[in-house]
Amino acid sequence: VNWTNATVVNPKNGTLSSGSDSASVTYTPKAGFVGTDTFDYTLTDSTGHSSTATVTITVKSADTAPIPVPTPTPT
């Protein structure tokens, strides 16, 4: 099925960008956001039929390496 129109309601805690193929999107969370985010989209085909769906994304915290703190050398 080919759609003629796609309408997206942007997520509250991130942004969406279209892929180069116009058939995919990339979700980028806001800096420091951890939790659940959602967005809705509606696809409409050439006959005017449409369908709406909700996408739910869970953003987990990134595993980061600890930053070493220098230990003073006694003199």
* Residue showing tokens 């980061």: 64
The pLDDT assigned to 74 comes to 76
| pLDDT 10s digits, 1-28 | 677 778 888 899 999 988 777 678 889 9
Question: Domain segments of the chain: what residues?
Answer: 3-59
CA angle 2, 17, 13 (to 5 degrees): 120
What token pair was written down for 15?
Answer: 């942004």
| pLDDT, greater one: 68 or 32 | 32
Q: How confident is the model at residue 29 (pLDDT cuts 50, 70, 90)?
A: very high
Average pLDDT over residues 38-52: 91
Running DSSP on this structure, what letter comes out for residue 21? Answer: T
| Residue 25 identity | V
pTM of the complete model: 0.69
Position 22 scores a pLDDT of 67
